[in-house]
């Protein structure tokens, strides 16, 4: 309970930080109510972990899975991405109050983009070589869409990562291998939609679910 608060506007609280694998952001809007002459902030809130992404068709997914399996075969251990979780993150939103989902959907609806080709053309690593990814060409269509999604979310009060965007698809984390990124034959597909994704653990398994789709 917070005393001495005289306004009744909702409070929006954001906590940002850096985990070993990726930045994180926890946000919530807490309702402010009057109770027995005192102002209280109601904290009974549960969160949804959200991000906006490009999901690939079966053919591209199979090519990505082949790269993941090739990496796995050359590794002593690693947390390799499940086939159904191979995706390209455009903007990570973070832990979000479910009441804000409609606002995020409306923000996505305000974005227009022409279909573009997403071309996967290289392998690389982060985190001192333990996080492996497949990288995409930084073409105008892809980079322009990412900037527009980020800009629209920022206008609605969502803080996004201020680091330069490097489009990539995570193949594995905590990978222990003597292998180095090898050349690959470029492949890809035409992208005409983006998805609002929910991340959660179901039965101990990391699960990504599309909860809204915006067609360009």
At 64-122, the pLDDT tens digits run 999 999 999 999 999 999 999 999 999 999 999 999 999 999 999 999 999 999 999 99
Report the pLDDT value the prediction gives residue 5, as an integer from 0 to 100: 38
* Alpha-carbon span 91 to 23, nearest angstrom: 11
* Alpha-carbon span 75 to 97, nearest angstrom: 39
What angle separates helix 101-109 from helix 140-155, to the nearest 10 degrees? 140
Q: Which two tokens stand for residue 167?
A: 């489009």
Q: Are 172 and 68 in contact (CB under 8 A)?
A: yes
* Residues 154-164: tens digit of each pLDDT: 999 988 788 89
For 47-215, which CATH class? alpha beta
Report the pLDDT value the prediction gives residue 114, as an integer from 0 to 100: 97
Across the range 170-189, mean pLDDT stands at: 98
Q: Which two tokens stand for residue 79?
A: 């947390």
pTM of the model: 0.79
Q: How confident is the model at residue 20 (pLDDT cuts 50, 70, 90)?
A: very low
* Alpha-carbon span 1 to 40, nearest angstrom: 5
* Alpha-carbon span 19 to 23, nearest angstrom: 6
Q: Higher confidence at residue 176 or residue 39?
A: 176
* Alpha-carbon span 42 to 58, nearest angstrom: 45
Across the range 114-140, mean pLDDT stands at: 97
* Domain coordinates in residue numbering, the chain: 47-215
Report the pLDDT value the prediction gives residue 4, as an integer from 0 to 100: 38
Give the H or E element holding residue 205: strand 205-215
């Amino acid at each position: 309970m917070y005393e001495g608060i005289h306004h009744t506007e909702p409070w929006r609280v954001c906590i940002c930080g850096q985990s070993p694998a990726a930045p994180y952001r926890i946000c919530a809007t807490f309702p402010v109510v009057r109770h027995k002459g005192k102002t209280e902030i109601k904290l009974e809130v549960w969160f949804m972990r959200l991000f906006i992404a490009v999901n690939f068709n079966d053919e591209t997914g199979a090519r990505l899975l082949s790269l993941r399996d090739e990496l796995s075969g050359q590794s002593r251990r690693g947390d390799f991405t499940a086939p159904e979780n191979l995706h390209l993150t455009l903007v990570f939103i973070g832990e979000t109050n479910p009441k804000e989902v409609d606002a995020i959907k409306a923000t996505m609806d305000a974005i227009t983009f022409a279909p573009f080709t997403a071309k996967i053309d290289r392998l690389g690593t982060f985190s001192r070589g333990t996080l492996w990814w497949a990288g995409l060409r930084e073409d105008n269509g892809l980079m322009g869409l990412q900037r527009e999604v980020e800009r629209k979310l920022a206008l609605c009060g969502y803080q996004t990562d201020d680091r330069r965007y490097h489009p990539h698809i995570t193949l594995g984390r905590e990978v222990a291998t003597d292998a180095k990124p090898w050349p690959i034959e470029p492949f890809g597909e035409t992208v005409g939609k983006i998805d609002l994704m929910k991340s959660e653990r179901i039965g101990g398994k990391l699960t990504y679910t599309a909860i809204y789709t915006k067609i360009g």
